[in-house]
Amino acid sequence: MCSRSTREAPGPRGAIRRFAETAYRDAILDAAERLFLRVGFHQTKMADVAEEAGIAVGTVYKHFSSKDEVFASLLDRSRRAALDVVERALAAPDPIERIRGFVEGIFELTEQHGPMIALCVQLGASLEGDLRLRCSEPDPHFDRALARLETAFRDAADSGRIRNDIDPGTLAAALAGAMKGTLLEWVRQHQSYSLASRARPLFDLFMQGARAR
């Protein structure tokens, strides 16, 4: 008789099934993203997504119950990628490099996913229910990232590299606000210039004001 652990151990078939499900899900999301950007969110139907992905429409519904869920999953995927960038940037030993890496990493990633971010901003009030909230709500991981950014400012102040008469939390929130304003202006200008090229000037300008005196 097999032990409990043996019975529950994933076999080759289970691994293949999970791999296939992940591949289908990614293919659906990639196809939907292309269509949302090329045709428009409201104009795209689930059948269109299936055709673009080269799979049956029933397979699309097996993984996503609605177009809104597909869009929400695309947003979640972008946010997870952003979190990975933040985690890597804020793991640097030098606090100033942590802050710089945070700004540059977020701007570079946003530029890569710019069209989807712009679409979310542009759709805005035309979305309904949970999806509208999803587009407007803050990233659930944002508070944690902001706390780590605050720690970087605190470490920089403790080492005498930036001024210590301003609360590190205020500095972190101010930098995040300046970044958000820069991102929104980039969207408003239809991504007509490199967002990544704005990262270092913004960082330098901000750090000039924060420099120890």
**CATH number of the CATH domain containing 12:** 1.10.10.60
Indicate the DSSP class of residue 164: S
In contact, 86 and 59? CB cutoff 8 Å: no
pLDDT at 7 over 50: no
- In this structure, what is the dihedral angle of CA atoms 46, 29, 27, 43, given to the nearest 10 degrees? 30
In contact, 84 and 102? CB cutoff 8 Å: no
Number of domains in the chain: 2
- What's the confidence (pLDDT) of residue 151? 95
Evaluate whether residue 2 is within a structural domain: no
pLDDT at 22 over 90: no
Q: What is the per-residue pLDDT across 183-195, written as a single tens digit (0 to 9) for each?
A: 889 888 888 899 9
Percent of the chain with pLDDT over 70: 83
In contact, 43 and 29? CB cutoff 8 Å: no
- What's the confidence (pLDDT) of residue 4? 41
Could you tell me the residue range of the domain that residue 206 belongs to? 67-213
Q: What is the per-residue pLDDT across 101-121, written as a single tens digit (0 to 9) for each?
A: 999 988 988 888 767 777 776
- Distance, CA of 33 to CA of 44 (rounded, Å): 10
Evaluate whether residue 52 is within a structural domain: yes
Q: What is the per-residue pLDDT across 25-64, written as a single tens digit (0 to 9) for each?
A: 999 999 999 998 888 888 999 999 999 999 999 999 999 9
- Distance, CA of 66 to CA of 136 (rounded, Å): 20
**CATH number of the CATH domain containing 190:** 1.10.357.10
In contact, 157 and 185? CB cutoff 8 Å: no
**Whole-structure pTM value:** 0.72
Assess whether 162 and 182 both reside in one domain: yes
User: What is each CA distance from 40 to 27, 43, 45, in whole angstroms?
Assistant: 18, 5, 10
The residue among 163 and 138 whose pLDDT is bigger is: 163
Q: Which residues of 164-183 are buried (b: 16+ CB within 10 A; e: fewer)?
A: beeebeebbeebbeebeebb
Phi-psi region of 162 (alpha: psi -120 to 50; beta: other; left: phi over 0): beta
Evaluate whether residue 200 is within a structural domain: yes
Segment 132-141 long-range contacts (CB within 8 Å, at least 24 positions apart): 134/72, 134/75, 135/75, 139/79, 139/82, 139/83, 140/79, 141/79, 141/83, 141/86
Assess whether 113 and 45 both reside in one domain: no
Residue among 164, 173, 143 nearest 211 (CA): 164
Evaluate whether residue 72 is within a structural domain: yes
